[in-house]
Every structure is written in C-alpha cells, then in structure tokens.
Chains A and B, each alone.
Chain A
Amino acid sequence: MFELSPTEWTAILLSLRVATVATLVATPLGIAVAWLLARREFWGKSIADALIHLPLVLPPVVTGYLLLLTFGRRGLVGAWLADHLGIVFAFRWTGAALACGIMSFPLLVRPIRLSIEAVDRRLEQAAGTLGAAPWRVFLTVTLPLALPGVLAGMVLGFAKAIGEFGATITFVSNIPGETQTISSAIYSLIQTPDGDSAALRLVVVSVLIAMAALVGSEWFARRALQRLHGN
C-alpha cells in the first residue's frame, strides 16, 4: 500500500531540493539582515522591516504574481538576468526556490534577529578591547552565541519552504519534474479521480519531513545551548 510511484518520488525530491537551496541561500542573507535590524540604526529601517515581513501578510498569490512581474521572462529583473547572466527563474525549479526563499524569509529572520538582540553587547565590547575588529567580533562572539536562533530560523524557514504553495504555483506553475513540489502534487492529485491514495501517501511524507525537521532542530538547539553555556 505504501509504495511511492516515480512521480511522487520526483515531487518529494524536488521539494527537498527546493527547500534546501532556498534555506541555504537565504540563511547568510537572513543573518546579515537580522544583524542590521538588531544592531544598527539607519534611515528607512522600519520600511525595510515591513518589506521583509510583507510576504507573511500578503496573500501568497499576490506575492507569486509580483514575482512573476519582476522575475518573469519579461519582468524588469527577470529579463536582465536572462539576457546578461543566463539565469531564468520563470517556470523552473530555481523559481520555486526563489518563491520559497522569499516566502520563508520573515520566518527565518525573526529568530535570528531575536537571538542576536539577546547577545550581551558588553561581551562584544570586551572582544573589541581585546583587539577584535567589528567583523571578527561578529564571527567569534555574536554569531556563535546566536547560533541556537540561527538554527531555529533555518528550520522554520525550511519547513515553510517545504509547505509553500500559493506563491510557488502562481510564479512557476505546476510542472511535474520541474516545479511540482509535494504541495502542488497533492493539489493536483486531489483534483483527479482515484488520486486519493497517492495524495494520502504524500501527506504522510510531508508530516514525516516536518516531524524530522522539528526533532532535528530541537536536538541541534539543545546541543548548541550546552556548548554555549558549557556546564
């Protein structure tokens, strides 16, 4: 009964690939943004903050359509990228990764920002008096101490990316083998007669992936905390 068909496997592997790439690319960016929001005052900070959180409150279809307008073949950025760098997002799995990355970005940034804010700035000052330039203070003190938050953000972002549906299907459609993730496969299957058992199998798989992500992050966070407070 629980035999996954090649199409289902394709959707699962594609989802994992899309979510992994989205998370790995978004994490360094997310850390930089989180640090800026936590530690710097600059003009337009509240606007930047709102922009980052926008995908959380906009209807996903709207985000997907905006992505299509910007990164589509004829979009402002999309056309330039295609002409100059040969990078195409529209109707490709990379586009799915972009959509997932943007949709999960606020969830990724938030825990990182909170954990950076929680790092004692007096420790950063101490590192400065010991000769550490600001970027080395960040790498040797701030980031290691914020690590549990970084991991939490990555897991949340990954989970969101795995589950993303609205923006992805609007931006890159639902092409088996290219852009059909678990979510869009389930959506297609429940539209077709006799698709129920296949849909159910994919539902079980997504529950398992989500559980594994949660358990894994819990484990990492506990280990990181032990390392930090080293008792």
Chain B
Amino acid sequence: MLRVDVSKRLGEFGIEACFESDGRVTGLFGASGAGKTSLINMIAGLLRPDRGIIAIDGETLDDTMAQTHIPVHRRRIGYVFQDARLFPHLDVRQNLDYGRRMNRLAEDGALHRRVTDLLDIGNLLDRRPGKLSGGERQRVALGRALLSQPRLLLLDEPLGSLDEERKEEILPYLVRLRDEAGIPMVYVSHDAYEMRQLATRIVMLRRGRVTAFGGTEVLPAALARV
C-alpha cells in the first residue's frame, strides 16, 4: 500500500497531490508538466515535500509534521529513469550487481538468473553501457533496479526515449515484470496506450493536482497515442 499526501512548490508551479493505492502497478498519468516526475522523485526521496506524508505498507518515509525524512539510499525503492543512467565506467554485470553491493545483500545466483532470463540480458553481461542499444540499456536498467531487491519500483517514462519499434520490444518485458516479479510498481507515462497495457490503478494528474483516480476506465477514451 502506497500512501501519498504531499504539497510542494517548485517556482511558479505547485504540486498538491493525495492518493492511496494498493495496485500492483499504479499508473501516474498526465501530460508533460503535470508534475509526475516531481511526484515520484518525492516518493524516491530525491525531492523533499514542503508538507505532507509519504508511506509504504505503513512505514513512514516522509512526514513533515514529525520531521521524518528517510534519505534516498535507505528507502529501498528502485528507480528506472527515462534515460537509463547506467554507470558508464562499469560493465553490465557490475551495473547489475551495484545495488546488491550497496545494500550489502548476499549473492543470490537464482535471483540473478531469474532477472537476467526475464529481461533477456544474459548475453550482455560483459558489455559496457556505451555498446548497448537504447532498448538493451533500458532492460539492463530494469534489471539493475530489480536486483537491488526494492520493495517498490518506480518507472519514469521508461519507454519515453525509445522509438515505436523499441517500445513494442520492451513493453512485453514490463508486462512480465508486473505478472512475475511480485514487486509493486509506480509507472509514470503520458501515453494512454502504455497505461492500458500495464497499469492496474490510475492516478490522473493535471497541473500538479490529482483529477481522477480509479481503474483504467478513467483514461481518456481515444485510443490514439498522445
């Protein structure tokens, strides 16, 4: 269960968002500039709310009244960025292993195999990020986040920087992830089609406010991609 009730001023722009979701995949849907990224940056702990509460499964991550703010590295929340952000000085294997090392987790060969199989990245392990295609990079970024064994996975337009063909290549992996990995996800996108494919709960955002909440039926009816 993810609970968010925050407000944050960012210059001229303000976010005032409140929602609770226990969906397997919570979709944050809205046009660019609606505040989606700022909102998940707050969930991740990269951005501090001016006021409010963020909690997962009853554990408070942020509570401005109680002056609670768990720093980003102790939240155990995975984050897949639009631009992958793989470490260029490490090969794929070391990138995948990074979260395990930083969290001082024991090596888990079975999990490693499951994730690399799920994402079909077993053949990329010795490569450097500079030698990967956009789609491969995004799959490695997914694997890296999963292998840090997060309790929640945030995905910020993970298909945003890919062309149509690559999107179709990655989407099935995300569906598999939803159905097999057992980690709740927050999926940010401005694409209603992606949302329909993936999300089980939708939070609609507009100019920093939640305008609708519910199943995929709250998405705009038009099938055309935004």
Contacts and interface: CB of A to CB of B under 8 A. Distances in A.
A229 B91 CA distance: 10
A228 interface: yes
B98 A127 contact: yes
A224 to B, nearest CB: 9
A130 B89 CA distance: 16
A129 interface: yes
B130 A130 contact: no
Interface in A107-137: 120, 122-123, 125-134, 136-137
Interface residues of B, number: 30
B73 A229 contact: no
A145 B103 CA distance: 22
B88 A130 contact: no
Contacts, number: 80
Interface string B126-165: 0011110000000000001100100000000000000000
A123 to B, nearest CB: 6
Interface residues of A, number: 24
A227 interface: yes
A54 interface: no
Interface string B74-89: 1111110101010111
A131 B91 CA distance: 19
A11 to B, nearest CB: 41
B44 A129 contact: yes
Interface of B: 44-46, 71-79, 81, 83, 85, 87-89, 91, 98-99, 102-103, 128-131, 144-145, 148
Complex A-B, nearest 6 residue pairs according to Cβ-Cβ distance, in ascending order: A230-B128, A130-B99, A129-B79, A131-B102, A131-B103, A126-B85
